Structure formats: structure tokens, C-alpha cells
Amino acid sequence: MSEMELLLRLTAALAIGVLIGLERGWKTRRAEDQKRAAGFRTFALSGLLGGISAALAEVLGGLFIGFAFFGFSLAFVSFHWLQARDEGHFSVTTVVAGLVTFVLGALAVAGDQRIAAASAVAAALLLALREPLHRWIARLTWEEVRAVLILVAMTFLLLPFLPNRTVDPWDAINPYQIWLLAILIAAISFGGYVAMKVFGSRLGLMMTATAGGLASSTATTVTFARMARERPGTWRLLSAGILVSSIVMTARVGVFAAALNAALLPLILPALLVSGGALTLGAALLASGRSAPAGAELAIANPLDIGTTLRLAAILAVIMLSVGIVLQEFGDEGVIAIAAISGLADVDAVTISMVQMSKSTLADVTAVQAVLVSVAVNTVSKAAIAAFLGGRRVGLAVGLASLVALIGIAVAAAAIGLL
């Protein structure tokens, strides 16, 4: 390792300590000087000490860093214990944060700097989000905890024993992949569910719409459209919220495509970008100059409930089997028809199925066409729901933005030869 590279790595180790120390120092900013065991400077030096120890270990041998870590841990824990005894306040978080800072500083010098930096950011976020996370834990019900535990158990205990091959005559059903994809959908949806639990919808309509779009853009459309009918003065903002949830849905399609088969991105990304841009413009025009109304509550079921996950797996299996049969009997046109029908209720399942099958039995162009048709049908169905439940003004606002988005999809698809 050259001197310049070592200097850069030690700088990264120091930056890791500064990042974590900034959060810890801010939390203890009201404490008197000389009354806290570890603050901003201590954490910054801890990261640098870890980096220096790792650098010396290359010369003195691997045991050196073990002794250095032991000595650091002993000193850090001792001072923290003295502070806890003096104040009667017992928490191991700061101790763990100090140990993590030392180890990440060492990793920045001896290992991958990117992993060390990413881990430091994750650690700082966990420390900074103490209150929201505690509030979320307090709001959890036993049913939600049980659902997560059961799902984790089924994933790590059941998944390894599922056959990772097709088991049907049409070469379409792979039990391992279906269960893994169902978990993927549920995990992403759980992000929206957690956002609703942590932040609550009263922090803003757009936060609610974004979280709702992660969980279910259709459910968000139904909820906001009903609220718009009940509260006519908020129809513009609620219409914007419906569009925001559709933007999130569009982004999810792109994420699934990128994660499962990046080769499809050049075909599908232009249409998604144009559609998302049209919806974003519509939402911005509707939401400009207005403040979000209070009380925008979304009733969304826990997506990690085992019953919900099993239904997702069943939907994926049915779509994949249907596509396999139709592809053999009727060709590509039949696949597009299945995607259109499925898009009335769900876009994720269609996207996952088509993108996954494009790696084996389904042509890339057909898979992208099917996904875009599903997105288009789902967009039309939500515009119809908005008009039916929300009234003329909501229907017109959502419908016009959706129409522009659909035209954008068609133009982008034609430009790259999909039509």
C-alpha cells in the first residue's frame, strides 16, 4: 500500500468516526464538559485509532489489531461504566457505537472502504432514528411481530429445500424462484407499511401518498378518492396524492426490472421515465401552493402477513403457469392479453413474472410489452376509480395526467420499436 493510499484510507477512517461522533455528540450536547465518557472528538479519534491499528497490523502482524481492539474496548467500557454509575443511567448503545466505530475505521484501512462507509452511514442512521424506531416498536402489535417471525422462519427454513427448477410440463413453475420473488414484493411493500407506522400520515399528504404507493397504489387511490368526496376543499391535494402513489408504482416497476433482468432496462426505462415525468408534472401542478390536509389515514394490511405472502406466491404461480401455457398455444398475443387482465388488479406480480420469464422462455420484447400493457391498464383502472369514488373534479385531474402518461408510454414504446 502506497503512502498516498494509506493517507486516503486513514482519512476515510477518520471520516467514519466524525460521522458517528457527530450524531453521538449532538445527542449529548447539553451535558457538561468532562461529564461524558465519549463525545464527538472521542468517536472521531476512535475511528482514526481503528485505522491506525489496521495499518500497524500489516507490519506487526494480525494479532496486533486484536490486542489494540481489546485495549480500546477495555478503556471505552470502563469510562462508560464510571459515567453510568455516577448518573444512574444505563445504556449500552454508546459502548456498542464506540466499538463499531473502531472496527469500521480498521475496515476502511484493511478492507473495502465502500463497505466501511456504507456501514457507518447505516450505524449513524440507526443511532439518529432512536425515537422514531422506539415509537414504531411501541406501535407494533403481536400479530405483526408474529407475521415477521413466521415469514423469516419460512424464508430461511423453507426456501433452501424448495426445488430450484421448473416442475410443470410447460417449463414455467419454479417453486424456489416464486417464493423468493413473493418475499421480494412483500419486503418492498413492507417499506411503505413501516413508513406509515413510523411517520404517520399527519406529517404530510405526500409522505402518506409515497408510503401508500410502496404498499398499494390502488388502495391509496381508493382512500384518497373517498376523502376527496367527503372533503371537497382538498380535492386538488388528494388528486396529487393519487398521482404520487402512481409515480411510486412506476418506479417500483423499474426497480424490479433492474434487479431481476437489467438487460430489459434499455427497452422499458424510456417509457417509465416519460410516464413518471408526466405524472410528476401533474402532481406538482395540483399540489402547488397548498398545504396538506390532516387526517389522511390509509388502512393497509401488513404485507408481511403470511397469508398475504402466500397469496402473492399463488398469484405469481398462476400468472407464470398461464403465460407458459398461452405462450405455447397462442404465442405472444396471448401473453399480452394475460398481462392486460392481470394489470387490472396488480402490476407487481405481472412485472415480476414477465421479467423473470424473460430470462428463459419469454422474449425480451414480449416481456417489456406485457409489463407496459399491465402498467397502462392499471393506470386506466385507477383513473376510473378516482372518477367513480372522488367525483368529476378528481376524475378529470387524475384522468388528464394519466392520459398524458399513457400517451408518453405509447410514444416511447413506438420510438424504440415496441409497437
Domain boundaries, the chain: 3-128, 141-415
**In this structure, what C-alpha cell is assigned to residue 87?**
448518573
Least confident piece of the model among 195-204, 229-238, 379-388 = 195-204
Cα R_g (the chain), whole angstroms: 26
Name residues whose C-beta falls within 8 Å of residue 307's C-beta, 6 or more positions apart in sequence: none
**In this structure, what C-alpha cell is assigned to residue 51?**
485505522
- pLDDT for the residue numbered 300: 52
Tens of pLDDT, residue by residue over 23-77, are 877 766 555 555 554 577 888 899 999 999 999 998 888 888 889 989 988 988 8
Q: In this structure, what are the phi and psi dihedrals at residue 250, rounded to the nearest 5 degrees? A: -60, -40
**For the CA atoms of 242, 246, 251, 257, what is the dihedral angle to 10 degrees?**
160
Does the pLDDT of residue 280 top 90, yes or no? Answer: yes
Type of residue at 193 = Y
The highest-confidence range among 234-238, 318-322, 334-338, 388-392, by mean pLDDT, is 388-392
Tens of pLDDT, residue by residue over 388-399, are 888 899 999 999
Tens of pLDDT, residue by residue over 132-171, are 777 767 777 776 677 677 777 777 777 788 888 878 777 6
CB-CB contact of 50 with 84 (8 Å): no
| Sign, Cα dihedral of 389, 392, 394, 399 | positive
Does the pLDDT of residue 247 top 90, yes or no? Answer: yes
Q: Taking the chain, what is the end-to-end CA distance rounded to the nearest angstrom?
A: 55
Average pLDDT, the chain: 80
Read off the pTM. Answer: 0.57
- pLDDT for the residue numbered 361: 75
